[in-house]
Structures are given as C-alpha cells and as structure tokens.
Amino acid sequence: MKRLARTHTPNLRAACALVLPLVLFALAACRGDGEDPMLSRLRRTEPDPEATPTSERIEELESDVARYRDEVEQRFRDTRNLVSAHRMLGMRYLEAGMYGPALDQFREAIDLQSDNPTLYYYAGVAAGHYAGGALEPETSEERLEIAERSYLRALELRPDYTRASYGLAILYAYELERFEEAREQIDAVLDAWPKDDRALAVSAYVYAGLDRIDEAIREYDRVIEHTTSESFRREAGEMQQRLRGER
C-alpha cells in the first residue's frame, strides 16, 4: 500500500482507496452520495485503485454501465441458472447410477461456483461410487483421491457439514481402511446425529477395524436400540455375534 503517512487530511475518495484492499468486494464501499452502486464497483476494478479517475474516465465508466447493465445482469442470471442445471443433471445421473457423468456435471458446476460446499459433497459421492466401477486399481485410486479432496474441500468451506463428514468416514473406513481418520469423522457425525442407526453402524465398523472389539459390540447394541428397520437390526445382531466369536 502506498503513502501510509500523509501530511494533510485525505479526501473521501483517497480514503476509500487506502482501505480498499482490506474490504475487497465489500458491497458497502465508500462512494459519493447518489453514485450508482455498479459504477462504484466497476471503479474498484480499475488498474490503479488508489488513483483518482479523471472526469472523462468517470463519464466513460458511466456510459459503460448504462450500455451493458442489462447484458451483465442477464449473463449473471444465465450463469446462476447454468449452475443449477448442472447440479440437477448431476443429481439425476446419481439417481440412475451413472456416476461418471454425474461427477462431470458437479465439476462443471464447481467451475462456475467454486465456493459451494454442497457441490463438492456431491462430487465426492459421485467419485466414490465411480471408483467402484474402475477396472484398473490405478483408476480406482485416482477416483478415490478425487472423492477425498472433494469431501475435504466441502468441510473446509463448511466445517460443520455433517454429510461431508459422513461421506469421508465411509471413504476412509470401507475404501481406504484408514480407521483413525474415519474415527475422527464419524465422531463428528455422531455429535450431530447421536441416534442415527447408519452412523452408529459405521462407528461400530470403525471400532472393529481398530481392534476395539468391545466398543464395536456396544455400538451395535446402540444400532439395535435405535434402528426402525428389522433387517438392519438383524444384521447388527449378526455382526455382534461374529465379533464375539473373534474375541
């Protein structure tokens, strides 16, 4: 930042220029009363934001805003609609078990909206399933890495995103056998969903993978207690018996 110290009181425009790097993209930037908000934002994209625009340049920017406002707004709406279209098509592909095309659609959406954690979550789901259909181990590993990165990015954007933690726990436990990391993720899930029978079953599986058999058996007790599915209750009981036989 240039000229941190001044010997005179800066005018309003100069003050805005000084604080602009700290509030980049803020909607409430300093501007003169009555100035068009789009013009104000456009001026902040000038090559030298600290320089005072000439009156001719201001007139030129005002003319650009007037000429292109409708086109810019329409393109923004079109892009937002395109994100929704990619997301919806990706969901349809997921429902149909077409995991490669689903992953492609979520990636297209991410290219347009890279800060949306939901898009990364579904990319992780698609990539994880897609890995199961790979013919070569190397291809499967690549797709599992995509799934892991997608889930982690979703959690980076939204740390309390329970579904992403659940997806990552499944990935670590059942696909990668990284049980310590799976334990961390499934604990986060159970903090939010303490009676979820599926999460409890994953937790039991993780305990078994860590050779903490007694804890796994107790977790299956919780599955049996909370599930509303008779088949799931029966499967949990069978897993308990198998673990007791391995002690």
Give the CATH number, domain containing residue 232: 1.25.40.10
The pLDDT, as a whole number, for residue 41 is 55
The pLDDT, as a whole number, for residue 3 is 41
Chain segment 156-200, per-residue pLDDT in tens: 999 999 999 999 999 999 999 999 999 999 999 999 999 999 999
Nearest to 175 by CA among 152, 205, 214: 205
pLDDT band at 66 (very low <50, low <70, confident <90, very high): confident
Please report whether residue 145 resides in a domain. Answer: yes
DSSP string, 88-147: HHHHHHHHTT-HHHHHHHHHHHHHH-TT-HHHHHHHHHHHHHHHHT-SSHHHHHHHHHHH
Q: Are residues 83 and 136 both part of a single domain?
A: yes
Task: Round the average pLDDT of the chain to a whole number and report it.
Answer: 83
Tell me the C-alpha distance between 115 and 123, whole Å: 13
The pLDDT, as a whole number, for residue 112 is 93
Mean pLDDT of 107-125: 96
Contact 185, 161 (CB under 8 A): no
Q: Are residues 49 and 108 both part of a single domain?
A: no
* Degrees to nearest 5, angle at CA 148 with 143 and 154: 125
The pLDDT, as a whole number, for residue 54 is 66
Please report whether residue 171 resides in a domain. Answer: no
Tell me the C-alpha distance between 93 and 105, whole Å: 9
Contact 42, 63 (CB under 8 A): no
| Residue 103, both tokens | 């992953």
> pTM, whole model, 2 decimals?
0.74
H/E segment holding residue 148: helix 137-157
Chain segment 193-235, per-residue pLDDT in tens: 999 999 999 999 999 999 999 999 999 999 999 999 999 999 9
Say which DSSP state 194 is in. Answer: T
| Residue 158, both tokens | 């939204």
Count CA within 13 A, CB hemisphere, residue 69.
10
Q: Are residues 79 and 44 both part of a single domain?
A: no
Domain that holds residue 116: 72-159
Please report whether residue 194 resides in a domain. Answer: yes
Mean pLDDT of 76-93: 91
The pLDDT, as a whole number, for residue 210 is 97
Mean pLDDT of 7-30: 39
Tell me the C-alpha distance between 177 and 166, whole Å: 15
Please report whether residue 67 resides in a domain. Answer: no
Cα 129 to Cα 95, 112, 149, distances in angstroms = 12, 24, 14
